[in-house]
Structure 1
Amino acid sequence: MSAQPAATARIALVTCAELPQLDEDEIAPIAPLAERGITAEPAVWNDPAVDWAAYDLAVIRSTWDYIDHHDDFVAWADRVPNLANPADVVRWNTDKTYLRDLAEAGVPVVPTTWLDPDSTVTLPTSGEFVVKPAISCGSKDTGRYDLADAAQRALAAGLATRLLSEGRTVMVQPYLHAVDTAGETAVLFFGGHYSHAIRKGALLDGPAGDVGLYKQEDIRAREATDSELHVAQQALAAVPGGADRLLYARVDVIPDADGHPVLLELELTEPSLFLRYDEGAPERFADAVAAYLKR
């Protein structure tokens, strides 16, 4: 066995207090990074004892509690000297109203009705819809409702009303049934290059409930199709400031009623990267970090 090179860089893999040692997927690149002379260690984003200036780079990973501290989180991002992805991207991407920007840029996005905090709750009278806040992750405060059913319609209106009363923007989207069969495809990019993809099964089976920090998912390896890659690249091309500044990106797409992929989310802040589902993904991520450090 050859000796590892002397450390030339020190990076933080940024997490939250509930996962101080990261989760299993986030640990995967630590050894490949060490092989490239990069020491990686977990650091909790809102721990006042952390000296962020001591790191050559802070890489946001499992900061999944930020939705309860959004303003503090984006203010923290602004203070970190070297952050991936950059702080202005974090500010833009942690509020799903960014989907409006992408739709205006011509990216095929899941049709969305936006209810701002001063809006009156008006919902469709039939069909299955998803109701969720614009600042959210892990399916928290997110529910699927059959709006032709009076009881479910009341639950959907109650969720929307509560969120609006808390000053939160609400999204109402049609439930795309292809997620129950084809599933959702997450397309992963490191350093601007396609790395791998995974299939995610359906998450929403009813009204919103308490899912904790995140909801367990059915994950399997998948190869992205040309049409999925095209939509993913369209979305990345529309990122403010340019996608060349991104260390990582996850683009979640789903087939619409006609079978064409549409964008569900563009994850540029703290997405799971599913490194364990592709044999070379941890090494590709480590290579991307090494290249990012050389900029």
Structure 2
Amino acid sequence: MRRVGFLACAETLPGSAPRRGDAFEHDLEVAALRPAFADRGMDLVEIDWRAPLADFDGLAAVLLGTAWDYQDSAAEFVARLDALAARGVAACNPPEVVRWNLDKRYLRALADAGVTVIPTKWHDDPGRAEIVAAMDAFAVDRVVVKRQVGAGGLGQHSFTRDALPDEGWRMGRAAMIQPFLPAIESEGEFTFVFIGGQFSHAVQKRPATGEYRVQSLFGGAEAAHYPSEQDLATAQAVIAALPFADLLYARVDMARLPSDEPAVMECELIEPYLYPDQGPELGERLAEALVERLELARLQ
């Protein structure tokens, strides 16, 4: 039986303490994948991405899974994927995809390719002045400040003209400033999951009352979503605009601009949660797509 690693981190692996508040998502995803993988002769092995390299010997491939602390050790994470590749362990998605997707400046490349993305100001280390300037440029009274290398809504800030940061406040890292979208409160965000380049399922994610972040870590709620043909076509166009073909998985997150046009918030190609509860065929689809890739690699 082929052994396939599911990369996680200490805060998401079962038995670790304390686990993250959203570690239950790790359990849900593994529970959805493991039986489908077993049916196709694959044993899914949960493993910390920081484990000794020898622990990865014998794995046919690794899925990037719930390595949800990578953003604080990005160089180390990519170096680990390179080291695994050197030992003959393929990563899904591969290191070149991770390098491209690590920094949210990939949104610029998507915009250049004709994709509608949320208007963004990019700064090496924004402070109060840059936040006010962004509000003026966007003609809004509220913005969201995000890490350029970040995940899970962690380290974000939202400011209004009536509640600006202190004069001496700095983000302390490269960041992006975007207008707050009122649609986040009214309808939330929409996620489109693709497996092997094909649409799998969609999810509507709503924030908790008084919150703007939709992740479960902040009380967000998810429900299955059945997109219109137009919205699905928009998400498919995002996949087509990526500089990579034949990705094992991809997740497109969008929200509506005031014009009602859907805009890309993120195109997650590294370690996205793939919402198995809203996509009951996820395990079968991912297992089948991975088998095809492993067979192709064996024949080459």
- TM-score, scaled to structure 1: 0.85
**Structure 1 unpaired stretches of 5+:** 1-6
The separation in 1 between residues aligned to 2:41 and 2:49, in whole angstroms, is: 24
Q: 1:287 to 1:207 in 2, by over 3 A?
A: closer
User: Aligned residues: percent identity?
Assistant: 33
1:232 Cα deviation (Å)? 1.8
The separation in 2 between residues aligned to 1:264 and 1:29, in whole angstroms, is: 27
The separation in 2 between residues aligned to 1:288 and 1:204, in whole angstroms, is: 38
Q: 1:272 to 1:118 in 2, by over 3 A?
A: closer
The separation in 2 between residues aligned to 1:17 and 1:238, in whole angstroms, is: 34
The separation in 2 between residues aligned to 1:291 and 1:86, in whole angstroms, is: 16
Which secondary structure state, in structure 1, belongs to the residue aligned with residue 190 of structure 2? Answer: strand
Partner in structure 2 of residue 236 of structure 1: 239
Count residues in correspondence: 274
- Where do residues 1-295 of structure 1 align in structure 2 (5 Å cutoff)? 7=1, 9-21=2-14, 22-48=26-52, 50-81=54-85, 82-117=90-125, 121-123=129-131, 124-125=135-136, 126-146=140-160, 148-149=161-162, 152-154=163-165, 161-163=170-172, 168-202=173-207, 205=210, 214-240=217-243, 242-244=244-246, 246-295=247-296
| CA-atom RMSD in angstroms | 2.4
Q: 1:117 to 1:189 in 2, by over 3 A?
A: same
**Aligned partners of 1:231 and 1:263 also within 8 Å:** no
1:49 Cα deviation (Å)? 5.2
Extract structure 1 runs of 4+ deviating beyond 6 A: none
1:238 Cα deviation (Å)? 2.4
The separation in 2 between residues aligned to 1:33 and 1:104, in whole angstroms, is: 38
**Aligned partners of 1:143 and 1:207 also within 8 Å:** no
1:202 partner letter: P
Which secondary structure state, in structure 2, belongs to the residue aligned with residue 275 of structure 1? Answer: coil
**Aligned partners of 2:4 and 2:42 also within 8 Å:** yes
Q: 1:108 to 1:293 in 2, by over 3 A?
A: same
**Structure 2 unpaired stretches of 5+:** 15-25
The separation in 1 between residues aligned to 2:54 and 2:268, in whole angstroms, is: 25
1:275 partner letter: P
